[in-house]
Chains A and B, each alone.
Chain A
Amino acid sequence: MTEVAETPPVTLSAATARPRASIGQGSQFVGLYARELLRTFRNPWVLVITIVQPFMWLAFFGSSFAGVPLSALDVLLHTHISSYIQFLLPGVLATSMLSVGMFGAMSTIQDKRFGFMKRILLTPTSKATVFLSKALGSATRGLVQIPIMIAAALIFGVRFAGDPLMWAGWILGLVFLGFGFSCLFLAVTASSVDWQTPGVISNFITMPLMFASGALFPSANFPVWMQDISAVNPVSYAALLGRGVVVSGTADWLYLGYLALFAAIMLLAGTLVASRYLKVE
């Protein structure tokens, strides 16, 4: 009969090589980015909402013109389309990238409040790395909606134009947009520890950016002041790029360039702001 001691006398031998920092800064980013994704997609509710939300948009908003003859829609939308959903889809995807940033900002504030930010920043991890992992994490979360939404539109019987290269360019544009807004939200909330801040900011900027863009309706019908906003609104670029692809099979690559520029500026500005002002708790 042998009795096993409750705590076996384990010693950490000197023979164990000191696992001293030898891999590059990249590992910190990989760790934090993986954490963002795991936290998101292990939560079944996040998955359900991610899938259901695009369906709701298409089902409810997309059906609101179901009774209008296509010829009348052509006049209203200044485009020849096969269904309003075909027109709407690029706009809804562009708009949904707006909410992506809000979730990134909320998860950052959660980390501050639960002390996790302290745990991270008491390792040799820079604030810029934390910022980048959060921004890319939330942009990635937004990306998941894209294939789901396109599949949903196909289920609703929509036919799309465009070749794979154009589609890739459009999706890249959406990534730029989502990433840019994530950076913007994270920068604006860098010094905040209040749960409510991201929601308030989101309410404040989502409405004008959504409606003063070509996302839901063509800007040709807008008054001049709204056209001016729409002309500098990155949501418009993503919507117009996508609409060209799926409706008429043409891609205006200048829009992609604008979106890349938007993402780059937001990344630069956000990194600067976060490295300076990111609050620990």
Chain B
Amino acid sequence: MAGPVAVDRVGTASEVANMNGTAIRARGLTKRYGAITAVDQVDLDVRAASIFGLLGPNGAGKTTIIKLLTGLGDASAGEAEVAGYDVRRDPMRVKERIGWVAAEVILDDDFTAWENLWLQAQLQRLKGWGTRAEELLRYFGLSDRRDDKVQTYSTGMRKKLEIALALLHQPEVIFMDEPTIGLDASTRRMLWELIQGVNREFGITVLLTTHYIEEADALCDHIAIIDHGRIVAHGTPTELKARVGADFIEIATAEPVTAATFSAVPGVLEVRSQGASWILRVRSSEEVLPRLLGLLRTDGIRRLNVEKPSLETVFLDLTGQRLDTAGENIDYRKFYATMRRARG
């Protein structure tokens, strides 16, 4: 039995694409706005039925990449293929095969859920969509609210309805732009489960953008780290973490120790002093830590901190900035500039 994963596909070019296993393919994708290059020579290969994350700070160009891939914006250079069709040559075929979930919920508030679904079916030119719409409402637990106006819905319910709209025409690829921005922790977790469920059960490729490290880590099979419109690294979360290739041990001792003491320990790659502590870059903390403790009088350790590689350290390593502050720096600059002007 094929099980619920199988989504019947019409024999099209997209089927070929899926057999080849690539849902999204981009080469040299570039978007310039005047002198500013928002997206710079981006290459992408997104495997069909995977969850792919574009991770980067605000303003890195993630949303622009989605616009180029969905045909909403014209690329200045480069090409992209989505669900087997060239975005520039066959934009309508691409749009028949993709779903889209916005960062901000975009629904007709004074319409009911069913009316919103009806409109989406009209726009996607669907026949016999009622059964599927009912299934989707049941899947998202919205059946008993289908005839209520959307303005009475909670944020989580709106988000669910928006995903239902995106799934109505059985797309092959879903684009989600910052799907959990501004949501509380429990709604965010609920949404993560939904996204994984949609991906697993329907075999739909998901491309999402996020600036939350834990989101990319929890959801994505594959991540591309974007900074200033360029992909600075990509791979599975595990691969990316392995890139750093080292753990960090921060240690402070009661009695003075020289750098040479640490350097002599096998597995220690680099020794730096930072204030009263030492920071050791080591190949593996599991390997080095017992040797280190054997070397030192254990009652003389004032401070010990082990940091395993995370996407955060990867981003730090690649850009020299922490991800959650990289975007905000710009805002602070603007903020202070405004303050200066206000003061005269």
Q: What is the interface of chain A, defined by CB distance below 8 A to chain B? A: 6-8, 10-14, 16-25, 27-28, 30-32, 34-35, 38-39, 42-43, 114-116, 118-126, 280
Contact = CB atoms under 8 A, between A and B. Distances in A.
Chain A contact surface mostly: loop
Nearest to B123: A123
A7 B197 CA distance: 13
B141 A25 contact: no
Nearest to B66: A122
B220 interface: no
Contacts of B92: 124, 126
Q: Among A8, A28, A35, A122, which residue has the most Cβ atoms of chain B within 10 A?
A: A122
B122 A14 contact: no
B106 A114 contact: yes
Counting from the closest, the 5 A-B pairs by CB-CB distance are A31-B122, A11-B4, A123-B123, A19-B126, A21-B125
Interface string B60-82: 00000000001010000000000
B102 A115 contact: yes
B127 A22 contact: yes
Interface residues of B, number: 47
A20 B6 contact: no
B8 A30 contact: no
A28 B96 CA distance: 13
Contacts of B260: none
A39 B119 CA distance: 13
B127 A11 contact: no
Interface of B: 2, 4, 6-10, 70, 72, 92-93, 95-96, 98, 100, 102, 104, 106, 108, 110-111, 115, 118-129, 131-132, 135-136, 138-139, 141, 167-170, 201-202
A39 B110 contact: yes
Contact of A122 (B98, B118, B167, B202): B98
A16 B141 contact: no
Nearest to B91: A124
A30 B106 contact: no
A18 B96 contact: no
B201 A12 contact: yes
Given A10-B139, A16-B135, A31 B119 contact: yes
A265 B34 CA distance: 35
Contact of B123 (A17, A28, A38): A28
Contacts of B7: 12, 14, 18
A115 B201 contact: no
A17 B128 contact: yes
B202 A19 contact: no
Given A6-B141, A12-B167, A123-B124, 17 more contacts: A12-B7, A12-B202, A14-B6, A16-B135, A18-B7, A23-B127, A27-B123, A27-B125, A28-B125, A31-B122, A114-B106, A115-B104, A118-B100, A119-B100, A123-B95, A124-B93, A126-B92
A158 B247 CA distance: 91
A122 B126 contact: no
Nearest to B165: A119
A126 B71 CA distance: 12
B10 to A, nearest CB: 6
Contact of A23 (B100, B102, B125, B170): B125
B6 A121 contact: no
Nearest to A28: B123
B102 A124 contact: no
A24 B124 CA distance: 10
Nearest to A280: B72
Given A31-B122, A118-B106, A12 B136 contact: yes
15 contacts: A10-B138, A12-B136, A12-B201, A16-B131, A16-B135, A18-B8, A27-B121, A31-B118, A32-B119, A39-B108, A115-B104, A118-B102, A119-B102, A122-B72, A124-B125
A8 B201 CA distance: 15
Contacts of A34: 119, 122
Contacts of A6: 141
Contacts of A10: 135, 138-139
A111 to B, nearest CB: 10
B2 A119 contact: no
Contacts of A21: 96, 124-126, 169
A124 B95 contact: yes
A17 B126 CA distance: 11
Given A12-B135, A31-B118, A18 B170 contact: yes
Nearest to A281: B72
B132 to A, nearest CB: 5
Nearest to A114: B106
B106 A116 contact: yes
A42 B150 CA distance: 14
A6 B4 CA distance: 20
Contacts of B118: 31
B102 A20 contact: no
Contacts of B2: 14
A137 to B, nearest CB: 14
Contacts of A20: 10, 96, 126, 169-170
A206 to B, nearest CB: 29
B132 A119 contact: no
Contact of A8 (B93, B121, B132, B138): B138
Contacts of B106: 114-116, 118-119
Nearest to A130: B123
B207 to A, nearest CB: 13
